[in-house]
Amino acid sequence: GQQLNQSPQSMFIQEGEDVSMNCTSSSIFNTWLWYKQDPGEGPVLLIALYKAGELTSNGRLTAQFGITRKDSFLNISASIPSDVGIYFCAGLESGGGADGLTFGKGTHLIIQP
């Protein structure tokens, strides 16, 4: 099935720093979603993107749908302790995605005091 390459796998940052992560695919996607998962909980939807080049913000979070439709980026500005968690990208292929959403392996965000 389709694979999404999400990077970095983990990030160790200081509180107040900005964070950037991305996802790339080998095929074209028509939907990109970004989720955050806290320990012991299910993923929570942060941002949904539906159009190439689209830039969408949700508070300190900003995500972009890549122009090639094969990648997406998530930025977090001025990180705070509650940003700790695992961030997943997910995409739906342009062909419809009979296998449902494809998820990246996640980026573990760790904030050092």
Partner 1 sequence: KAGVTQTPRYLIKTRGQQVTLSCSPISGHRSVSWYQQTPGQGLQFLFEYFSETQRNKGNFPGRFSGRQFSNSRSEMNVSTLELGDSALYLCASSLALSRYSEKLFFGSGTQLSVL
In whole angstroms, what is the distance from residue 29 CA to residue 36 CA? 20
Cβ at position 96, least distance to partner 1 in Å: 5
Cβ at position 106, least distance to partner 1 in Å: 6
Cβ at position 20, least distance to partner 1 in Å: 21
Closer to partner 1 by Cβ: residue 45 or 110: 45
The torsion of the CA quartet 100, 104, 49, 101, rounded to 10 degrees, works out to: 0
Closer to partner 1 by Cβ: residue 9 or 80: 9
Closer to partner 1 by Cβ: residue 11 or 33: 33
For binding to partner 1 (CB under 8 A), which residues are involved?
Answer: 1, 31, 33, 35, 40-45, 48, 88, 90, 92, 96-106
In whole angstroms, what is the distance from residue 27 CA to residue 9 CA? 21
Is the C-alpha dihedral spanning 22, 13, 80, 106 positive or negative?
positive
